[in-house]
Amino acid sequence: MDTTLQDPLVGQVLDGRYRVDARIAVGGMATVYRAVDTRLDRVLALKVMHPALATDATFVERFIREAKSAARLDHPNVVQVFDQGAQGAYVYLAMEYIAGCTLRDVLRERGALRPRAALDILEPVLAALGAAHRAGFVHRDMKPENVLIGDDGRVKVADFGLVRAVNTVTSTTGAVLGTVAYLAPEQIEKGTAEPRVDVYACGVVLYEMLTGGKPHDGESPAQILYQHLHEDVPPPSAEVPGLPYELDGLVASATARNPEVRPHDAVALLAEAREARSRLSAEQLDAVPPGALAAGHDNAEDRTSVIPRPPAAGPSASGAGDDGVLRTSRLAAPPPPPPRRRGPGVPRGPLAVVLAVLLVLGVGTGVWYISSGQFTEVPPLLSKTEAQARERLESAGLGVGTVGHSHSDTVERGRVIDSDPGAGARIRRNGSVSFTVSDGPRTVKLPDVGGYRLDRARAALKDEGLEPGMVTEEFSEDVPAGYVVATKPGADTYVRGGAAVALVVSKGRAVEVPDVTGDSLDDAREELADAGLKVEVAPGRVTSEYEEGEVARQSPEGGGEAAEGDTVTLTVSKGPELVEVPDVVGDSVDDATRALRDAGFEVREERGLLGLFGDTVKKQSVEGGDTAPRGSTVTITIR
């Protein structure tokens, strides 16, 4: 049966613009629909928050953060976000529609993938995450469900709804947002949000692509979390014999339990992945995985969850609270509950039946009395104007309490962003409800940090409620090395609070590096010092075409640019390599030339009048058996 027929949103038009055609997927926080933008006549995806969560301003803020974060990322492997809005209880994002499937669909259908296919998927995923990491953001919920594979083969990363700025922790007190199977140890223990948590998740995803199954398994989420904390991810070859050790090493590097040992971000892991691929043969890349887990494994734990971090001490327990939130303590598997026993004072037989009837009658009477006009429910006020909110409260027989104001990045100015008590709460009739009205997004005037040291500039941005973003370097004639040249956007621009600000830092004044190869070491030092550069001499000497004591090579090379005060490393020659010269007297010209060149020499022919038509070597400039520098020229005389 097509369940989309029962979905109340299918067939509706949101905000007079987005016609909802079909339901695509349902997640823990939102439902995704295929829709049509009737203004631009294009197909797109609508991600709509579950109405039950739309009354919670915290969840709405987190949901809309996806639009803000993804909109900052202009990358071909990131799902583009076009718009965000709200209509009644529906808060939504309008996003790029990818016709295809998710990586989870592929794994469910095929099981383990060939190494080439796994790397073909992993690399664009890392490219997308690398762009986010370099922009100052972390995804925090990487898993196969968030990897989209288009019908045209394009790979895109979706669902940046859990994005956080680098080096921050979750705002959910004592909890971490994510998916159990892909959480890094530091996410579980501290709620850390930094690029290495995405690196760890990508390592788990790679393991899953290579083997068809997850590295950690258990009867409860608590057991899986415990394994993340205390057990290394096993090598994929333990599950799929014959997988190259390069892939084992790549998984081990990405999933190291100590975050300091992992690649520092997705860009670094991408470099490792490409290096691993380069060392594999075509046969290894296209090998069919033998003995891998079959397709169609269970993925019941693959939804994003709010997971409490383990407390420092306390009894071992695991379960779900009344609010449906998974709770864990010490991450140990709980013992089965003992069978319930009847207490000695509980009556049996006919007496029990009579008491039960009386209890039902008593409780029923109480419920009738309580619900006969004493209480009512708080109506939903989210996104209503102040006047509409007052009217709704008055219509419900409720009074208006305190009306506060607060900035909001997600709710337009003049609209309600929160109420106390919240929507749906039971309240006595004639009670009062307070609510908060949005003053719109908080804007910040970007401070002028030009000329600041990088650390001071970062601190100044944070003091204004902004996030330091990607750092790039460029030469500057005016700004010393290590100091800020400019920001992007520029100083005095008004931006939203919390926005990421890119910093351009000076590498110092650019100078042309002189070419000092072949110079004596003293002359080279003097010439480089005159150019404003420092000199470092590499330990040891090398054979080269240059004489002993002369500069054999330099780094950076001559003719390039460096910052004033940079260091040029010089390697000193110990002279050319001496090679024994073959004896070619009496040989034909061709044989002599071949022998000398094979020994590493250049050959020059010398013919007198008598040797114009000759083909035999009469003599050679360096006698056979003597030594000469490799690459030097040996002259042969023809007769």
- Over residues 589-606, the pLDDT tens digits come to 999 999 999 999 999 998
Residues of the chain with CATH 1.10.510.10: 100-316+325-332
Longest distance between any two alpha carbons in the chain, whole Å: 139
d(CA 563, CA 474): 9
Mean pLDDT of 404-426: 84
DSSP string, 150-204: ETTS-EEE---TT-EETTEE-SSTTEEEE-GGG--HHHHHH-EESHHHHHHHHHH
Known catalytic residues? 141
- Structure-token pair, residue 452: 């600041």
The residue type of 494 is Y
- Structure-token pair, residue 313: 């001490």
CATH number of 510-573: 3.30.10.20
User: Which of 346-350, 411-415, 554-558, 627-631 is predicted with the least confidence, judged by mean pLDDT?
Assistant: 346-350
Instruction: State percent of the chain over pLDDT 90.
Output: 43
- Over residues 75-109, the pLDDT tens digits come to 889 988 888 888 888 888 899 999 889 999 999 98
Residue range 578-638 in CATH 3.30.10.20: yes
**The pLDDT value given to residue 210:** 96
Considering only CA atoms, which of 115, 153, 269, 287 is closest in space to residue 202? 269
Average pLDDT along the chain: 81
Name the residue with higher pLDDT: 317 or 444.
Answer: 444
Assess whether pLDDT exceeds 50 at residue 37. yes
User: Which of 171-180, 304-313, 339-348, 522-531 is predicted with the least confidence, judged by mean pLDDT?
Assistant: 339-348
Helix, coil or strand: residue 268: helix
Q: Are strands 633-638 and 602-607 parallel, antiparallel or unpaired?
A: parallel
d(CA 577, CA 547): 10
Residues of the chain with CATH 3.30.10.20: 375-438, 443-506, 510-573, 578-638
- Over residues 330-373, the pLDDT tens digits come to 333 333 343 333 333 334 444 343 333 333 334 333 333 333 35
d(CA 203, CA 249): 10
CATH number of 443-506: 3.30.10.20
Name the residue with higher pLDDT: 383 or 275.
Answer: 275
Helix, coil or strand: residue 265: coil
CATH number of 1-97: 3.30.200.20
DSSP string, 2-23: -GGGG-TTTT-EETTTEEEEEE
The answer for residues whose C-beta is within 8 angstroms of residue 51's C-beta and 6 or more apart is 89, 90
CATH number of 100-316+325-332: 1.10.510.10
**The pLDDT value given to residue 560:** 87
Instruction: State percent of the chain over pLDDT 70.
Output: 80
Q: How many of the other CB atoms lie within 10 Å of CB of 16?
A: 9
Assess whether pLDDT exceeds 50 at residue 247. yes
**The pLDDT value given to residue 45:** 93
**The pLDDT value given to residue 412:** 79
d(CA 600, CA 404): 87
Mean pLDDT of 258-287: 92
**The pLDDT value given to residue 147:** 96
- Structure-token pair, residue 196: 């290495």
Assess whether pLDDT exceeds 50 at residue 240. yes
**The pLDDT value given to residue 225:** 87
The residue type of 636 is I
**The pLDDT value given to residue 89:** 80
Assess whether pLDDT exceeds 50 at residue 280. yes
- In the DSSP assignment, the letter for residue 234 is P
Calculated CA dihedral for residues 298, 302, 306, 310, nearest 10 degrees: 70
* Residue 553 and residue 521 in contact, taking contact as beta carbons nearer than 8 Å: no
**The pLDDT value given to residue 41:** 85
- Structure-token pair, residue 293: 């887990």
Mean pLDDT of 206-224: 90
Assess whether pLDDT exceeds 70 at residue 611. no
Assess whether pLDDT exceeds 60 at residue 513. yes
- Structure-token pair, residue 423: 């929507």
Total residues found in the chain within this entry: 639
Considering only CA atoms, which of 71, 12, 64 is closest in space to residue 36? 12
Q: How many of the other CB atoms lie within 10 Å of CB of 361?
A: 10
- Structure-token pair, residue 450: 């030009």
d(CA 442, CA 405): 12
CATH number of 375-438: 3.30.10.20
User: Which of 172-181, 337-346, 537-546 is predicted with the least confidence, judged by mean pLDDT?
Assistant: 337-346
Q: 119 φ, ψ to 5°? A: -70, -35
d(CA 207, CA 575): 52
Assess whether pLDDT exceeds 60 at residue 431. yes
**The pLDDT value given to residue 176:** 47
Name the residue with higher pLDDT: 81 or 459.
Answer: 459
d(CA 314, CA 491): 51
Residues of the chain with CATH 3.30.200.20: 1-97
Name the residue with higher pLDDT: 409 or 324.
Answer: 409
- Over residues 285-308, the pLDDT tens digits come to 998 876 555 454 444 455 554 455
